[in-house]
Amino acid sequence: MASEAELKAAGEKYVPKDYDPTLYKIRHSLAHVLAQAVTERFPQAKPTIGPPVEFGFYYDFDLDVSPSDEDLGWITDRMRKIIRGKHAFKVREITSVEGKELFKEQPYKLELIEGLVNGQDEYGNSAPLADAPTLTVYQQDTFVDLCRGPHVDSTAALDPKGFKVTQVTGSYWRGDEKNKALKRFHATAWASEADLKAHLARVEEAAKRDHRKVGRELELFMNSPLLGAGFPILLPKGSTVRRILEQFITDYERAAGYQHVYSPDLAKRSLYEVSGHWEHYKDNMFPPMDLGEEELVLRPMNCPHHILIYQSRPRSYRDLPIRIAELGKMYRYERSGVVGGLSRVRCMTLNDAHLFVRPEQITEEFVGVLNLIKKAYADLGITEYSFRLSKRDPKNKVKYVDDDLMWKTSQQKLRDALQQAGVVYREAEDEAAFYGPKVDIEVKDVMGREETLSTIQLDPHLPKQFGLVYKDSDDTEKRPFMIHRGVISTMERMLAYLIELYAGAFPPWLAPVQVAIVPIADRHFDYAKQVAAQLLAKDFRVETDLGDKRMNAKIREFQLQKVPYILVVGDKEMEAGAVAIRLRTEENLGAKPVAEFVALLEKVVGSRALTLNP
């Protein structure tokens, strides 16, 4: 029999690899404390499982009543009291016979024991067992739970004010709706009250900035059950932002020697068989359309089309690098549970390009892309991002091309390029493309969740699949490398990110409406229209409110719509050829001649300033 210390140490291996072990133990221990309080409040409640999750934990009970706010208050108070009792978390090993006796009143625990003995984990999935399973129980105060740990040593390590029971929702035993319906108690839990408060503040801020909410309020995009999940429609205002972004990035690309193309979204399945997508990426593709004599697929990536362009004529070493760019539409079969809003969709337009390069050009081109990304981010006001070298999972021979040497060399090439560029980065396994390693640029949302925006990928594989060559200076045929890259990411994901970054208050160069004009009374309508025409002639995006609402209501509405500049015009302004300038921040710049306002706007928009009155 193992000692208590050995049993506790053995529990440590159950902390998931991306989880802070201290927080994991705190949350796991609080789950037991909650279960004690719940079963005291509701003696009929049958505990099932209660794991730590992102930001906290839950615990599922078979319980015939719906807990009221009063119940949750009682449970919270009771948990605090248990914590203050400084009870040790004691572990001991039991046999399955003992377990069945100990939990004879608890049908779910009995089922768990049964499963463990037969090589299943607590979710009912088969988990290969090295040897006979060690069953352990943890006890604090009067409460005993079947558990593999790990836990804090004592409730003294828990902050009685560091958690919050947030809600109770419905769930099912083993997540299967054919099984018994359960009550899931959710809680967020932290090391201290200060950490909890900071988290709750982040939750509130995230809700305010949520791009789905802001997108609705500002009429940027819409969804419809008739369209299905993952197929949002950009409304006129969202489309304006996208058009500006597209112009912005394609201008930079043309200056950097990219050539832009258009290619179709559908192709024969055989194109993707040659490329290897069919073998390695089929799970992310929509099923083919069967036309009898041929099958067509919606493209999940644009690379094969650009490869055909490369192949459309002989290439010499002098032609390289060739940089083919496209705002390419692609379709991915994302699982319906993960699509939502704009950040993960099923039909997307990627700011894509494929660079065909000689081996000795890889680093220079890589650095060129990196600089383009940095420049674009600076203009967009994206200041916090990190670099990830995304490698394959060497054990997975299905998801990734099976060629050890290829992976080793190309991963090293990316490391060298990153180092030459002086970039700080981390490495992560099982994040590569099937054809090669990537450098992904990651941003975080308010909740600290990471997401990939830009990507630079080194690919020796697709050139081989298509037999790409160029004639070298010594007249021999050589194989080019491909660099796949997206700077803006997909237009959808970038829009989602920018909406949240700015909480809808875009910098003027990106704002769908840059200027709003509010005439004070009917007699100022003509002057308002005249000012609007002047601004339109300068290519600014203007909206004039000729409705019959009061001036203050109109101003308020434009501020809510996050229009950067609101121009109020009345008698005085009309006489002087002026406008009274208000900002969406409620700051007042006073009356200025129209020409002066135009100059301000030209400066702000032309320089892509991030403030309204620099």
Q: What are phi and psi of 37, to 5 degrees?
A: -65, -40
Q: Does position 211 bind ligand TSB by CB under 6 A? A: no
Q: Is 484 in the site for ligand TSB (CB under 6 A)?
A: yes
Applying CB under 6 A, the span of 6-14, 134-142, 381-389, 489-497 interacting with ligand TSB comes to 489-497
Binding mask 404-443 for Zn ion (x = CB under 5 A): ----------------------------------------
Instruction: Choose the binding region for ligand TSB from 451-459, 461-469, 525-533, 569-577 (rule: CB under 6 A).
Output: 451-459
166 binds ligand TSB (CB under 6 A): no
Task: Tell me how far, at minimum, the Cβ of 482 lies from ligand TSB, in Å.
Answer: 9
Nearer to ligand TSB, 391 or 493 (CB): 493
Select 148 or 413, whichever has its Cβ closest to ligand TSB.
413
Binding piece for ligand TSB, criterion CB under 6 A, among 179-187, 259-267, 343-351, 526-534: 343-351
Number of residues binding to ligand TSB, judged by CB under 6 A: 22
* Unique residue bearing structure tokens 């959808």: 492
As separate numbers, helices (DSSP H) first and strands (DSSP E) second, the chain gives 19, 28
303 binds ligand TSB, rule: CB under 6 A: yes
Order of all β-strands in the sheet with 266-268: 266-268, 295-298, 289-290
Tokens, residue 121: 């984990």
Q: Tell me phi and psi for residue 372, to 5 degrees.
A: -60, -45
Least Å distance between CB 433 and Zn ion?
8
Residue 562 interacts with ligand TSB (CB under 6 A): yes or no: no
Options 166-174, 423-431, 479-487, 547-555: segment touching ligand TSB (CB under 6 A)? 479-487
User: CB of residue 316 vs Zn ion: minimum separation in angstroms?
Assistant: 23
Q: Which is nearer to ligand TSB, 41 or 212 (CB)?
A: 212
Residue 11 or 486: the one with the smaller Cβ distance to Zn ion is: 486
Q: Which partner from the list ligand TSB, Zn ion, none does 500 bind, CB cut-off 5 to 8 Å by kind?
A: none
Interaction of residue 489 with ligand TSB, rule CB under 6 A: yes
For residues 84 and 86, what is the distance between their CA atoms, to the nearest angstrom? 5
CA–CA separation, 611 vs 333, rounded Å?
39
* 345 interacts with ligand TSB by CB under 6 A: yes
Angle between helices 236-255 and 491-502 (to 10 degrees): 110
490 contacts ligand TSB (rule: CB under 6 A): yes
**Cα separation of 404 and 387, whole Å?**
24
Give the nearest distance from C-beta 490 to ligand TSB in angstroms: 4
The residue among 174 and 329 lying less far from ligand TSB, judged by its C-beta, is 329
For position 301 contacting ligand TSB by CB under 6 A, the verdict is yes
Which of 164, 332, 554, 592 is close enough to bind ligand TSB by CB under 6 A?
332
Q: Is 315 in the site for Zn ion (CB under 5 A)?
A: no
Residues with Cβ within 8 Å of 297's Cβ and at least 6 positions away in sequence, in order, are 266, 267, 268, 269, 272, 285, 286, 288, 289
Among 303, 330, 468, 496, binds Zn ion (CB under 5 A): 303
Tell me the sheet residues that pair with 448: none
Does a cis peptide bond (omega within 30 degrees of 0) precede residue 264? Answer: no
From residue 600, alpha-carbon distances to 207, 354, 522, 607, 614 in Å are 34, 39, 28, 11, 9
Which backbone phi and psi does 292 adopt, to 5 degrees?
A: 90, -85
Establish if 455 lies at the interface with ligand TSB (CB under 6 A).
yes
Residue 83 near residue 58, CB atoms below 8 Å: no
Rounded CA-CA distance 452/387 in Å is 9
Cβ atoms of 516 and 542 closer than 8 Å: yes
Which backbone phi and psi does 115 adopt, to 5 degrees?
-65, -45
Q: Which among 411-419, 452-460, 591-599, 603-611 is the span making contact with ligand TSB, rule CB under 6 A?
A: 452-460
Complex with Zn ion: residue 277 or 484, whichever CB lies closer? 484
Q: Degrees (nearest 5) of the Cα angle 603, 245, 385?
A: 95
Ramachandran region, residue 381 (left: φ > 0; alpha: ψ -120 to 50; beta: rest):
left
Q: Which does 452 bind (CB under 5 to 8 A by kind): Zn ion, ligand TSB, none?
A: ligand TSB
CA gap 166, 312 in Å, rounded: 60
Q: Does 348 bind ligand TSB (CB under 6 A)?
A: yes
Do 440 and 387 form a contact (C-beta atoms < 8 A)?
Answer: yes
CB neighbours (10 Å) of residue 283? 11
- The H or E element spanning position 197 is helix 193-209
Residue 364 C-beta: closest distance to ligand TSB, Å: 19
Q: Contact between 329 and ligand TSB (CB under 6 A)? A: no
Contact 603/582 with Cβ under 8 angstroms? no
How far apart, in whole angstroms, are the C-alpha atoms of residue 213 and residue 584? Answer: 19
Min dist CB 325 to Zn ion, Å, is: 11
- State the binding partner of 569 from Zn ion, ligand TSB, none, CB within 5 to 8 A by kind: none
User: Segment near Zn ion (CB under 5 A), from 35-43, 59-67, 481-489, 585-593?
Assistant: 481-489
* Shortest spacing between CB 328 and Zn ion, in angstroms: 9
Q: Output 303 or 372, the one with its CB closest to Zn ion.
A: 303
State the distance between the two ends of the chain, measured CA to CA, in whole angstroms.
72
Q: Which does residue 158 bind out of Zn ion, ligand TSB, none, counting CB within 5 to 8 angstroms by kind?
A: none
The reply on whether position 484 binds Zn ion by CB under 5 A is yes
- Out of 277, 388, 493, 584, the only residue in the binding site for ligand TSB (CB under 6 A) is 493
Q: How many CB atoms lie within 10 A of CB 165?
A: 23
Q: Which stretch binds ligand TSB (CB under 6 A): 46-54, 56-64, 350-358, 606-614?
A: 350-358
285: left (phi over 0), alpha (psi -120 to 50) or beta: beta
DSSP state of 113: H
Of residues 492, 500, 545, 573, which one binds ligand TSB by CB under 6 A?
Answer: 492
- Binding residues (CB under 5 A) for Zn ion: these are 303, 484
Which residues make up the interface to ligand TSB (CB under 6 A)?
A: 301, 303, 332, 334, 344-345, 348, 350, 352, 354, 433, 452-453, 455, 457, 484-486, 489-490, 492-493
